[in-house]
Amino acid sequence: MSASRHPALLATDPELASFVAAEEVLQAQTLRLIPSENYVSAAVLEASGTVLQNKYSEGYPGRRYYEGQQNIDRVEALAVERAKGLFGVDHVNVQPYSGSPANLAVYLAFAKPGDTVMGMALPMGGHLTHGWGVSATGSWFRGVQYGVRADTGLIDYDAVRDLALAERPKLIFCGGTALPRTIDFAAFAEIAREAGSILVADVAHIAGLIAGGAHPSPADHVDVISTTTHKTLRGPRGAMLMCREEHAKAIDKAVFPGLQGGPHNQTTAGIAVALHEAAQPSFVSYAHAVVANAKALAAALLQKGFDLVSGGTDNHLILIDLTGKDVPGKIAAKALDRAGIVVNYNTVPFDPRKPFDPSGVRIGTPSLTSRGLSTEHMPLVADWISRAVDAAAKGDEQALAAIRAEVTDLMAAFPAPGLPLA
Ligand code: DSN
| Within a domain: 62 | yes
The pLDDT confidence band at residue 252, using thresholds 50, 70 and 90, is very high
What's the chain's average pLDDT?
Answer: 97
Please check whether residue 297 lies inside any domain of the structure: yes
- The stretch 55-73 carries a mean pLDDT of 98
pLDDT tens-place string over residues 156-198: 999 999 999 999 999 999 999 999 999 999 999 999 999 999 9
Which of 118, 202, 103, 222 minimizes the C-alpha distance to 160?
118
Q: Read off the pLDDT of residues 347-404 as tens digits, 9 standing for 90 and up.
A: 999 999 999 999 999 999 999 999 999 999 999 999 999 999 999 999 999 999 999 9
Residue 39 lies in a domain: no
Residue 47 has pLDDT above 60, yes or no: yes
CA dihedral for 264, 265, 269, 275, sign (positive or negative): positive
Tell me the catalytic residues. 56, 58, 202, 228, 231, 237
Helix (H/G/I), strand (E/B), else coil: 292: helix
Pocket mutation for ligand 1, best pick of 33, 36, 38, 205 (most atoms within 8 Å of C-beta): 36
Task: Please check whether residue 323 lies inside any domain of the structure.
Answer: yes
Q: Residue 420: is its pLDDT beyond 80? A: no
- Which pLDDT score, from 0 to 100, does residue 326 have? 83
Q: Decide: 36 in ligand 1 pocket, CB within 6 A.
A: yes
DSSP state of 229: S
Q: What is the pLDDT of residue 51?
A: 98
Last-in-domain residue among 234, 259, 278: 278
263 and 119 fall within a common domain: yes
238 lines ligand 1 (CB under 6 A): no
Whether 97 is in a domain gets the answer yes
For residue 177, tell me if it sits in a domain. Answer: yes
Model pLDDT, residue 5: 86
Quote the number of domains for the chain.
2
Q: Which residues pair with 241 in a beta bridge?
A: 93, 226
Q: Are residues 297 and 239 in the same domain?
A: no
C-beta of residue 92 within 8 angstroms of C-beta of residue 241: yes
Element (H, E) at 401: helix 397-412
Q: Residue 30: inside a domain, yes or no?
A: no
Domain hosting 65: range is: 47-278
Over the stretch 115-165, which tens digit does the pLDDT of each residue have? Answer: 999 999 999 999 999 999 999 999 999 999 999 999 999 999 999 999 999
The residue whose CB lies within 8 Å of the most ligand 1 atoms, and thus the one to mutate among 37, 127, 134, 343, is 127
pLDDT of 3 over the 60 cut: no
3-state secondary structure of 240: strand
| Minimum-distance ligand 1 atom for the alpha carbon of 177 | 5
User: Is 99 touching ligand 1 by the criterion CB < 6 Å?
Assistant: yes
Q: Examine the fold and report which residue of 278, 296, 324 is the final residue of a domain before the chain moves on.
A: 278
pLDDT score of 422 more than 80 = no
With a 6 Å cutoff on the Cβ, whether 366 touches ligand 1 is no
Place 421 in a pLDDT band, splitting at 50, 70 and 90.
low
CA distance 357 to 327: 11
Distances (CA, A) of 66 to 22, 56, 166, 263: 39, 7, 48, 12
User: Both 75 and 133 in a single domain?
Assistant: yes
Same domain, 263 and 294: no
Segment 276-281 shows an average pLDDT of 98
Q: How far is CA 218 from the centre of its chain?
A: 16
CA of 178 to the centre of ligand 1 (A): 9
CATH of the domain at 107: 3.40.640.10
Residue 178 and residue 318 share a domain:
no
290 in the same domain as 268: no
Name the pLDDT band for 33 (thresholds 50, 70, 90). very high
Protein residue with least CA distance to atom 6, ligand 1: 177
Indicate whether 267 and 295 sit together in one domain. Answer: no
Domain of 340, CATH number, reads 3.90.1150.10
Give the confidence band of 1 by pLDDT, cuts at 50, 70, 90: very low
One domain for residues 272 and 311: no
User: Is 79 among the domain residues?
Assistant: yes
Work out whether strand 171-174 and strand 341-342 pair parallel, antiparallel, or are unpaired.
unpaired
- Residue 224 and residue 144 in one domain: yes
Taking alpha carbons only, the member of 259, 315, 247 closest to residue 129 is 259
Show which of 245, 278, 311 is a domain's final residue.
278
Are both 254 and 292 inside the same structural domain? no
295-313 average pLDDT score = 98
Same structural domain for residues 303 and 256? Answer: no
Do 162 and 198 share a structural domain?
A: yes
The Cα–Cα gap between 58 and 63 comes to: 9
Residue 224 phi/psi, 5° resolution? -135, 140
- Interatomic CA distance for residues 167 and 154, integer angstroms: 22
